Structure 1
Amino acid sequence: MSYADQRMSGSKVVAIVIVALIHAVIGYAFVTGLAYQYVKKAAEKLNTFDVEEPPPPPPDEPPPPPPDTPLTPPPVVSPPPIVNVPRPPVVMQTVTTPPPAAPMVPIAAPPAPPPPAPAPPRIAVPVTPRGNQGDWFPQDSYPAAARRAEAEGRVSVQVTVDTRGRVSACRVTSSSGNSDLDEATCRLATRNGRFNPAKDANGTPIESTTSIRAVKWQIEDR
């Protein structure tokens, strides 16, 4: 046994003996009724008793350093060579935009010619007037304006006669020179004229035109 072990064992024995004595005194104090102060002082002495710890073992020697290794410098990397690549020439192209086309305007087709008028039916029996044509133009129907103007003259007209024998249209073919006399002639012929209508080969009444006798307008008292 080393000297440190012997010293530590002796200290432990002394500590054990002291602890045993303290326990015996405490027990006696409780039994004999000693004052609490004595017990407290004994406990304080026990707390302040220091047991010396053995010194720590010496540290292990560090291993010897490895032999010096020569430092090898990193290899020098040379930069890649610069290669000049020729660029293709830039060709500028001019694009000409054609002008916008003119809008197409549809050309209207010329109107179709009207169909030819149907040929008038062939007249087998011509139109004839009924009664005296002079009665269609009485003297009291003399236009007042023409009378005041003392207008006189002869008027010839052509009338269209329908299938009933009535005048459906009238036009002046020879004027008297006075519009009042011309208008009065057509008005009276349309209102008073009566005819036997014309007929075709089958005897069916058809529309036709005819001329009536010229009407002479003259003031009586002159």
Structure 2
Amino acid sequence: MKIILGLGNPGAEYASTRHNVGFMTADLLAKRHGIRLTTRRHSSLLGEGTIAGVAVVLAKPQTYMNCSGDAALSLLSRYRVSPQDLIVICDDMNLDVARVRVRASGSAGGHNGLKSIIARIGTDAFPRVRIGVGRVAPDQWIDHVLGEFTAEERPQIEEAVARAADAVEVLLREGPEAAANQFNRRQPPPETPEPGPEQPREVGA
């Protein structure tokens, strides 16, 4: 049994914000694998199912980001699994927009949801899938993560969420090292069309 925790803030007003890419990825995994996130227990909206041949609990904490650890601890206790069986999906301001990275363990990196989880379960030894939401100055952090993606960024984020879901599937099937080897390579920048030949300007236009 694995616990997959997609982090975010509950409520329609936060649904499209940068901080909620973990929720977005959990929703995509639920859609792909026919898991209904309709049960309200353990401070989460959750569902049970199978992903990549592994029994999972897929959950979205309903505690708000800074208390995500309450949900993580409750789920680990209820299902009697170790922290190594927890997979967390979250945003990361230390990564460029739409970049996806997998780590087997590590510090919170300034992320309050991860800080809460580490504090509550007593270890940082759990894998996580991080989705870049772009870097800003420290005095802009709150507005940035609670803001929505730009029109230009949205297609990139949709692709990143799909890659993050792919990464979770590989992580479940092959482990964090294999997932990191596959997904931590820097993604090539999107191609821009070559400019066409300059058209002569019409007199009087």
Q: What's the TM-score once normalised by structure 2's chain length? A: 0.17
- The structure whose residues are more often strand, as a share, is 2
Question: Normalising by the residue count of structure 1, what TM-score does the alignment of the two structures yield?
Answer: 0.16
Higher helix share: 2
Higher relative contact order (CA 8 A, sep 6+): 2
